[in-house]
Amino acid sequence: MTEQLVKRVVIAGGGTAGWLAAAALSRQLGQLLDIVLVESEEIGTVGVGEATIPTMRSFHAILGLDEREFMRATKASFKLGISFENWARDGDRYIHSFGEIGKSTWMGAFHHFWLQARADGIDGDIGDYCLELRAADAEKFATGENAPVNYAYHLDAGLYAKFLRARSEADGLHRIEGKIAQVERDPQSGDIAALVLQSGERVEGDLFIDCTGFRGLLIEETLAAGYDDWSHWLPTNSALAMQTESTRPAVPYTRAIAHDAGWRWQIPLQHRVGNGLVYCSDFLSDDAARDRLLQAVDGKPVTEPRLIRYRTGRRRKVWDRNCIALSLASGFVEPLESTSIHLVMIALTRLMQVFPFAGINPATASRFNDQARQDLEGVRDFIILHYHLNQRPEPFWQRCREMTIPDTLAERIALFREAAHAYQAGEDLFRVDSWVQVMLGQRLQPQGHHHLARILGRERLGQALADIKRNHDRTLAAMPQHQRFLDAHMAG
């Protein structure tokens, strides 16, 4: 048997990323590893990742989490998608839902059938054929066999970290309180040898996980892994985040509302609403952004607006030597599609699958880095899509519309514009239905489509669409309002 050379794992930093790493590793590999997390109560976390995507449910299954226990602890609500308001033009609204649109075939996706129906004058809105989208729009929700919806959560990120901490410590993880004063490297190998705390304590390890946020204390300040700046494609660089009291029942979707220099979010939880304003400081001052956010929120403020600076881009290596960077330490593309927590979870899943017990080798690290690059570039392209396809008149939006975009995205847009083709390749996060909902929502109209629906004929095509809508009508009629279901679910 090969000797186990990597035994002690040191997680630098807490927050959502650090405690997710702690929870996953202690739960799945705790019998094989000695896991330590170092954090300081004095150092705050960004903590605005309060909206998620459905992949979280699969990761929670890996952690053995009970949904009600998790939701009670984090004051979570359900999420069926995102409502995009004013993005292509002022007054526009569309929902990017987590659902499947209609019924696709091996030869062509459902939207080709819908485009043929539109050409024949028998279509409804494409959202009519997606249960999750219609439920979100009606502010309804239910789970179970009679309502098989694909959903995620809105949650309190601070409470989530505390919940994960309790689980991790119950599974044997050791937490050390303290600020990191120095990162010590092995003089021979150049690997990280230990974290030296302000107290003088040395925390040695074989593998280090960097969860120190934008700073990247280990991956960048120590190992200089390098950073690719994407601000020429994603020019927002600032966000203000605050919490307010709830003024109405919670809706099962995130709101993303465009303004002249970016957008703002609204995330309903059980006990409050998370609010934020994302903007480019070249086009909006901090003071003006603060005033705008305070004027836009509905409820009484629970916290003051907190300013967050960022630079969109990615770390060139997220696994460098014996260090792996997670979350903000690995890169950031802004919170528009709620992907931050997912990217942490997929990285941890891969790490557990290829954990280097017998020692770190270049091939494993290289493959890990390539997958992380593809993940973040795929998210990057999808988010650029929202900005680039716009018809707004303001200078910020004109800049986004006229900028040169990545070739990978330009190809996707051309395929859809010319022939309505959309695809999900390899390990792409976003499905065909996601690309279709956003491209149509941003007013990209295909010039052609696949003609397979002509085989059905106009009458049969109309009947097929009507059947889908009728089935959804029945399901929706039996669904309670989201707030009512949420209250019952939490009381159960």
Residues serving a catalytic function are 79
Rounded-to-integer distance, Cα 132 and Cα 288, Å: 36
DSSP codes joined into one string, 97-122: ESSPPS---SS--HHHHHHHHHHTT-
Rounded-to-integer distance, Cα 263 and Cα 278, Å: 5
- What CA–CA distances, in Å, run from 137 to 58, 80, 128, 251, 470? 25, 9, 10, 9, 17
Q: Helix (H, G, I), strand (E, B), or coil: what is residue 77?
A: strand
Rounded-to-integer distance, Cα 135 and Cα 329, Å: 36
Sheet with 8-12, side-by-side order of all strands: 174-177, 34-39, 8-12, 207-210, 323-325, 319-320
Start-end of H helices in 225-298: 286-296
Contact 245, 360 (CB under 8 A): no
Exposure string of 206-223, with b = 16+ CB inside 10 Å and e = fewer, is bbbbbbbbeebbbbbebb
Which of 3, 33, 12 lies closest to 359, judged by CA?
A: 3
Rounded-to-integer distance, Cα 355 and Cα 417, Å: 43
- In sequence order, the 6+-apart residues with CB closer than 8 A to the CB of 226 are 220, 315, 316, 317
Phi, psi of 423 (to 5 degrees): -150, 160
Reported as half-sphere exposure (CB side, CA atoms, 13 A), residue 171 has a value of 27
Phi, psi of 217 (to 5 degrees): -55, -40
Three-state DSSP string of 120-184: CCCCCCHHHHCHHHHHHHCCECCCCCCCCCCCEEECCHHHHHHHHHHHHHHCCCEEEECCEEEEE
